[in-house]
């Protein structure tokens, strides 16, 4: 048997109260209140149990009208329907009752049979209404009213299978740097922009396609699925949105980042298509020139590879699969070696030796770089301590990922390692890439200066590859500029590269810094650098990165081990 509904009767006239109670009792549970205070305390205590309220709207001494007004401001109120009773029988207040949100209005003379029927109706209708509200809530995005993702998935699936002869394309887009809009203009403005985007998306799609689905799936993430595989048509929809965004009058321009998946088989699951749009979107994230990409199989391979790297990284550390290799640095003025750079490699049990460019970026984005760098630094300190015990006087440089400069107490970690292995700070050199400096300049200036104060030598890695190099030198007093290898690519030196190199070397001298050039592969390059006063070189011309044992041989052969 189904559970009885509970009715709350709010009525100060005892006779009327008894009348309602007797009428309801066989079929309903009843709660009674003779004043609004009492009614509120019952609602507070047992509100969840109550299915409907019978309210005497014309209670003497208590204002039923006022009660309803106050009651309706409570959040749960729309869920419990109120039937207003007019015990005066005049019916004058009927409009007021409805205006305030009453579900029904019953006036004297009361007729039990009619009242019971109306009560049942109200219960049915209100349950239906809350179900609808519930459904609505679970199917739509509360801000824009567009489909939410699960509704989008269901509708898109239906659309795909009921149109087997048509081709469809799914597009996912978000806005580069949307968090800045939140930060600069506040949530309200940001929400308004999202609302504008939603209505433009709706307008464009309904104006251009006879069937389509669209949705907001996350903060600034929208997706849509349109019945075309024609690139011109697809790109027109993206361009429309991009130029729409440009019209928003903000201090800075907003850019879209779109991933596109042409659905070649309508039985493809909607989530699979969506995942492909995410993979495609990643290919243009952060780019200002290229704001859309089509999904291709090779992107998938890349994503899978990245996933595989993530799946295996913990095991790799435990199994000691990461190896530290060393690439000698050479003093071209005195023609002697002068140390090395520690470079990590991954000896994967199945895939063989993996170069750091494959996994470092993945680790930088998932935070694992902290574990890896610590591991490499410790390995390096251990090796260095061993070589020093054999009389080696060459320093070794380690790379500090930009992520770690911010995430990790670099100075404490390095101090404790050098203490543990008894390594003088000037034997450990620290390479930091210049791109680091651009994000939070002051923090990094402080860290670099503190490292210097601790006696470590700082190398500015990849100098000349970024765009802020010169202004950085104003703020950060590094010991050595490490000229990026792009200048030496293909083994030749063109006139422009030569001029830039000569200027960098001259400038470094004026600023009292040493210069090392990396990626140097030919004799001509070495001679040019020497002629302009560059002291050090690291590159295949002298030696490639090599495993520890080989580097030890190298040291011996060069009378330094």
**Alpha-carbon gap, residue 431 to 463, rounded angstroms:** 11
CB 176 within 8 A of CB 255: yes
Q: Compute the radius of gyration of the chain from its Cα atoms.
A: 36
Tokens linked to 267: 């039985």
Helices (H), 283-353: 297-318
Site string for ligand C2E, 420-459 (x = CB under 6 A): -----------x----------------------------
If binding is defined by CB under 6 A, does position 327 make contact with ligand C2E?
Answer: yes
| Closer to Ca ion by Cβ: residue 258 or 516 | 516
CB closer to Ca ion, 56 vs 461: 461
CB-neighbour burial class of residue 404 (10 A; exposed 0-12, middle 13-18, buried 19+): buried
Q: Which stretch binds ligand C2E (CB under 6 A): 79-87, 125-133, 313-321, 514-522?
A: 514-522
Query: For ligand C2E, which residue of 302, 521, 522, 558 counts as binding (CB under 6 A)?
Result: 521
Judged by beta carbon, residue 93 or residue 447, the one nearer ligand C2E is 447
Q: Which SS3 state, helix, strand or coil, does residue 57 take? A: coil
CA distance 19 to 550: 101
174 makes contact with ligand C2E (CB under 6 A): no
Tell the smallest beta-carbon distance from residue 486 to ligand C2E (Å).
10
Q: Binding residue for ligand C2E (CB under 6 A) from 11, 31, 104, 373?
A: 373
Residue 434 binding target from ligand C2E, Ca ion, none, CB below 5 to 8 Å by type: none
Q: How far is the CB of 225 from Ca ion (least distance, A)?
A: 44
Q: How far is the CB of 435 from Ca ion (least distance, A)?
A: 11
Q: Which is nearer to ligand C2E, 393 or 544 (CB)?
A: 544
Helical residues (DSSP H) of 258-400, grouped into ranges: 270-282, 297-318, 356-366, 369-389
Give least dist CB 178 to Ca ion, A. Answer: 33
Would you tell me which residues interact with Ca ion (CB under 5 A)? 399, 431, 461-462
Residue 469 interacting with ligand C2E (CB under 6 A): no
CA angle 325, 327, 332 (to 5 degrees): 170
Selected from 9, 122, 223, 376, the binder of ligand C2E by CB under 6 A is 376
Does 399 contact ligand C2E by CB under 6 A? yes
SS (H, E, C) 428-488: EEEEEECHHHHHCHHHHHHHHHHHHHCCCEEEEEEECCCCCHHHHHHHCCCCEEEECHHHH
What is the closest distance, in whole angstroms, from the C-beta atom of residue 423 to Ca ion in the complex?
A: 19
Question: Cβ-count burial of 496 within 10 angstroms (0-12 exposed, 13-18 middle, 19+ buried)?
Answer: exposed
> Please, which residue, 2 or 490, has the CB nearer to ligand C2E?
490
Whose CA is closest to 395, among 330, 339, 335? 339
> Taking the complex as a whole, how short is the minimal distance between the CB of residue 460 and ligand C2E, in angstroms?
11
The token pair that represents 73 in the structure block: 């401001």
Rounded-to-integer distance, Cα 542 and Cα 337, Å:
9
Beta strands in 47-146 (DSSP E): 50-56, 82-86, 104-107
| Two tokens, residue 301 | 């391979």
To the nearest whole angstrom, how small is the minimum distance from the Cβ of residue 430 to Ca ion? 10
Count of residues binding ligand C2E (CB under 6 A)? Answer: 23
Distances (CA, A) of 184 to 252, 297, 436: 10, 39, 24
- Judged by CB under 6 A, which of 126, 519, 534, 537 binds ligand C2E? 519
CB of 451 to Ca ion, least distance (A): 15
Residue (77 or 465) nearer to Ca ion, CB: 465
CB of residue 457 to ligand C2E, shortest distance in Å: 15
Going by the DSSP 8-state scheme, the letter that residue 5 receives in this structure is: P
Asked if 401 is part of the footprint of ligand C2E (rule: CB under 6 A), the reply reads yes
- 355 touches ligand C2E by CB under 6 A: yes
Element (H, E) at 412: helix 410-420
Q: Which listed option, ligand C2E, Ca ion, none, makes contact with residue 344 (CB within 5 to 8 Å by class)?
A: ligand C2E
Measure the CA–CA gap between 96 and 94, rounded to whole angstroms.
Answer: 5
> How distant, in Å, are the alpha carbons of 336, 395, 509, 528 from that of 534?
14, 19, 9, 9
Of the two residues 103 and 363, which places its CB atom closer to Ca ion in the complex? 363
Nearer to ligand C2E, 259 or 545 (CB): 545
Number of neighbours of residue 4 by Cβ within 10 angstroms: 14
The two tokens of residue 131 are 């179900």
CA–CA gap between residue 229 and residue 235 (Å, rounded)? 10
Nearest to 168, CA basis, from 158, 178, 183: 158
> Minimum distance from CB of 444 to ligand C2E (Å)?
15
By CB under 6 A, tell whether 360 contacts ligand C2E. Answer: yes
Interface stretch with ligand C2E, choices 349-357, 385-393, 442-450, 497-505 (CB under 6 A): 349-357
Question: In whole angstroms, how close is the CB of 314 to Ca ion at the nearest point?
Answer: 25
Residues in touch with ligand C2E (CB under 6 A): 327, 343-344, 355-357, 360, 373, 376, 399, 401, 431, 461-462, 485, 518-521, 538-540, 545
């Amino acid at each position: 048997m189904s559970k009885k509904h509970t009715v709350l009767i709010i009525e100060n006239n005892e006779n009327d109260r008894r009348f309602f109670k007797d009428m309801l009792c066989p079929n309903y549970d009843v709660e009674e209140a003779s004043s609004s205070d009492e009614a509120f305390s019952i609602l507070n205590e047992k509100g969840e149990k109550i299915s409907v309220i019978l309210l005497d709207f014309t209670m003497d001494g208590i204002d039923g009208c006022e009660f309803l007004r106050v009651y309706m401001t409570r959040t749960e109120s729309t869920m419990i329907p109120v039937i207003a009773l007019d015990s005066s029988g005049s019916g004058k207040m009927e409009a007021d009752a409805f205006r305030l949100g009453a579900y029904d209005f019953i006036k004297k003379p009361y007729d039990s049979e009619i009242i019971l029927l109306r009560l049942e109706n109200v219960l049915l209708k209100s349950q239906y209404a809350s179900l609808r509200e519930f459904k609505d809530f679970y199917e739509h995005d509360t801000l824009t009213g567009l489909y939410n993702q699960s509704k989008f998935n269901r509708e898109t699936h239906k659309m795909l299978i009921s149109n087997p002869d048509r081709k469809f394309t799914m597009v996912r887009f978000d806005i580069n740097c949307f968090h800045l809009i939140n930060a600069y203009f506040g949530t309200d403005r940001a929400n308004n922009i999202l609302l504008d985007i939603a209505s433009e998306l709706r307008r464009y799609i309904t104006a251009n396609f006879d069937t389509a689905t669209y949705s907001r799936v996350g903060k600034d993430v929208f997706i849509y699925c349109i019945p075309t595989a024609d690139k011109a048509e697809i790109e027109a929809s993206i361009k429309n949105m991009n130029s729409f965004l440009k019209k928003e009058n903000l201090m800075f321009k907003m850019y879209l980042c779109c991933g596109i998946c042409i659905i070649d088989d309508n039985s493809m699951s909607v989530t699979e298509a969506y995942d492909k749009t995410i993979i495609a979107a990643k290919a243009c994230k952060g780019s200002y020139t290229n704001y859309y990409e089509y999904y291709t199989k090779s992107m998938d391979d890349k994503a899978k590879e990245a996933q595989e790297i993530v799946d295996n990284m913990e095991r790799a550390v435990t199994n000691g699969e990461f190896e530290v290799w060393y690439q000698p640095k050479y003093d071209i003025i005195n023609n002697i070696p002068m140390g090395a750079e520690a470079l990590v490699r991954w000896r994967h049990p199945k895939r063989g030796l993996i170069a750091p460019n494959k996994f470092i970026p993945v680790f930088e984005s998932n935070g694992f770089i902290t574990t890896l760098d610590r591991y490499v630094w410790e390995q390096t300190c251990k090796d260095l301590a061993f070589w020093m015990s054999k009389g080696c006087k060459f320093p070794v440089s380690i790379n500090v990922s930009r992520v770690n400069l911010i995430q990790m107490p670099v100075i404490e970690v390095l101090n404790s390692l050098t203490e543990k292995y008894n390594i003088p700070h000037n034997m450990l050199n620290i390479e930091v890439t210049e791109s680091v400096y651009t994000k939070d300049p002051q923090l990094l200036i402080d860290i670099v200066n503190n490292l210097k104060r601790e006696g470590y030598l700082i190398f500015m890695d990849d100098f000349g590859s970024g765009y802020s190099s010169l202004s950085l030198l104003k703020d950060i007093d590094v010991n050595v500029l490490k000229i990026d290898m792009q200048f030496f690519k293909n083994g030749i030196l063109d006139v422009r590269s030569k001029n830039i190199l000569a200027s960098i070397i001259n400038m470094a001298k004026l600023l009292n810094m040493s210069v090392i050039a990396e990626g140097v592969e030919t004799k001509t390059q070495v001679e040019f650098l020497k002629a302009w006063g560059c002291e050090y070189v690291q590159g295949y011309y002298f030696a490639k990165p090599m495993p520890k044992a080989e580097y030890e041989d190298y040291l011996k052969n060069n009378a330094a081990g």
